[in-house]
Chains A and B, each alone.
Chain A
Amino acid sequence: MNLVIGVIGGGRVLVQEREKLRVGERGEEELAPELRRLFEARDRAGEPGRIGNGSSSGEGVFDFRYGPFTGGYPEAGIFHLHTYGEKILSVEVDISCKHRGIEASMAGLELSDCARASETVAGNFGFAHSLAFCRAAEAALALEPGRRAERLRLVGLELERIYNHLLVKARLAQAAAQKVLAAHVEALFEEALRINKLFSGSRLLSGSNRVGGVSAELMGVDDGRLRDLAARVETLARHFGSIYTTSLSSRNYMDRLHGIAVAGAQLAVARGLTGPSLRAAGVDADLRIAEPLLAGFVPITKDEGDSMARMEVRAEEILASCEIVRGQVEALLGGADGDAADLRGDGVRADGGAAESRGAGARATAASKAEGLGAAESATGTVAWWIETSGGRVVRAYASTPSLFGFQVFADALRGHIFTDFPFALDSFGLSFADAAR
């Protein structure tokens, strides 16, 4: 399985092979026409343009424009639903409203400022974005963060996954008018944000990642806070498990999700889809398989590829992520990763030397021109950053975001459904306009 998830210019592409990401030499001309059109739309994200499967014509067919501000969807974006009244014949998504030109604005800025800026691509995937960016910078500078920093990063990444998945679950429950379920999941969603604050000082885990490690506050998190974190995550998992099991007894709820917006493995792979939506189509691709500190990690998959399968994958991932957090906290408490006081958490030892820099040392590398690729498995799929750096500043940056591919697959999967199915299809993909438009 080769997923093309970025075109960085010069005939080079970003390719994901199950759990590994690399810069490929394959020419752009080899891309499938649908994927090439998608990358062209990405590059024109600031102009009103459309991702999807074109317009439709016929007797009484019109373009039902939904957005950019609606009561039904919290983000600014436009859906063009081509329909004759009830059935949706084709779908186009305009992401231009949320384009902020983030990558272009990074040129000439220091790496540390850009790491913070990368969080604002999508605030709810901010930890994954800053982690991928920092990993790209670390690859360029030949820096290796210590094991403790890596472990803390894994905890942050899973905490981000938990609250995002809970939000998707809550939105699906609201769409299905499952008020009891929605209220309980929303309560857990709020609790997850509070757990984030306990862990990092920020409800959305902002400012946690630094080039070379994590923030000093995160690096210095004490054992008491970690124990509290583990206990609250365990309670959250217990409550969620109970709610989820009970919710599956509601046939009404299941019926709203079953068979909706099917995105099978062939379509998903061809369009570059990653994350839980891809795993719901039976493909066990997940960058976490290659995480050295997550030995034995097995991705959760389902076969059906519909909204129900995507909901199930996310629900089971919430429980799995809680387990990962508890395991990592246990290791942190065990002190297996060395003394936290040795490191400031930003890749620099207290004595000023670079932390575990590879070979020739990071400082010499920082002054010269270099490029690096970094990635992280966000709640919705692969987030990747490729950067070119010189003298500690960014020359060029490229972000591959999972929502771009997600909107294309959503558009393809929604064809032929009726308006009532729209929220179940959209929310089950867990997409973000901010993430897609950058």
Chain B
Amino acid sequence: MRWWPLFGISRRLTEKRDYESAAEVRPLPGLFRRSLFIYAVDAGNSNALNIEVAALRAPQYNIHRLGIFFTDTPRHADLLLVLGQPTSGTIGALMETLSQIPQPFGIIHIREPLAAGNRFVDFDPPQLLARIEGRPEAPELLGILLKVRKGGAR
């Protein structure tokens, strides 16, 4: 039996490729160009977007090498990633979360256009950098996050 901490240490899992997205992202000049800390919230998505965000943790992407980190608290966040259209049950907590993020910060809102239901509410915050219609897969999601960083380049 191999010593567990050395298990598979010779495997190269990180992929060298470009991650792109056609999404339009409003630039934030001078901000977040070296690193981007993201607080992701599930506003009412079907869990599909949560799965794609979970996939970004995979070693294939190795997002830390690109300066991208997910935080566990809004107080450490540069970017709020809102997953799904808010419901009447989440909008209150979402607005409270917004008020807890230190300035300056941006918001990316991903909607699931096919999501069924009758309890969704409007969400139109001022700091919106992009509103994505659809269900971006992990590689495209990473492309969107890299665009936020690129928009920060002077």
Contacts and interface: CB of A to CB of B under 8 A. Distances in A.
A400 interface: no
A299 B45 CA distance: 32
A189 B5 contact: no
Contact of B119 (A100, A187, A197): A100
Contact of A243 (B7, B94, B116, B117): B7
B23 interface: no
B44 A98 contact: yes
Interface in A211-269: 243, 246-247, 249-250
B4 A246 contact: yes
A123 B118 contact: no
A183 B60 CA distance: 10
B48 interface: yes
Question: What range describes how many residues of B lie at the interface?
Answer: 35 or more
B47 A122 contact: yes
Given A72-B72, A97-B89, A250-B4, A105 B47 contact: no
A48 B51 CA distance: 25
A257 B101 CA distance: 35
Contacts of B88: 46
Contact of B87 (A48, A99, A119, A180): A99
Interface string B81-119: 000000111100110010000000000000010111111
Given A99-B89, A119-B46, A120-B116, A187 B13 contact: yes
A181 B5 CA distance: 9
B60 A76 contact: no
Contacts of B44: 76, 97-98, 100
Max chain A CB contacts within 10 Å: which of B49, B51, B88, B90?
Answer: B51
Contact of B41 (A76, A170, A186, A204): A76
Contacts of A75: 42, 47, 50
Given A190-B138, A434-B47, A100 B58 contact: no
A97 B56 CA distance: 25
Interface residues of A, number: 54
A98 B89 contact: yes
Contact of A46 (B53, B73, B89, B94): B89
Contacts of B8: 180, 184, 243
B22 interface: no
Given A75-B50, A121-B46, A123-B48, A104 B4 contact: no
A434 B119 CA distance: 13
Contacts of B114: 116-117, 119-120
Contact of B90 (A72, A76, A187, A246): A76
Contact of B7 (A70, A96, A193, A246): A246
B153 interface: no
Contact of B116 (A74, A106, A186, A432): A106
A204 B43 CA distance: 20
Contacts of B55: 186, 189-190, 193, 203
11 contacts: A117-B116, A118-B116, A120-B46, A120-B112, A123-B50, A181-B7, A193-B51, A197-B137, A206-B135, A246-B1, A246-B7
Question: What 10 pairs across the A-B complex have the smallest Cβ distances?
Answer: A71-B72, A123-B48, A100-B117, A117-B116, A190-B58, A123-B46, A97-B89, A120-B46, A101-B118, A434-B47
Interface of B: 1-2, 4-5, 7-8, 13, 40-55, 57-61, 71-73, 87-90, 93-94, 97, 112, 114-120, 135, 137-138
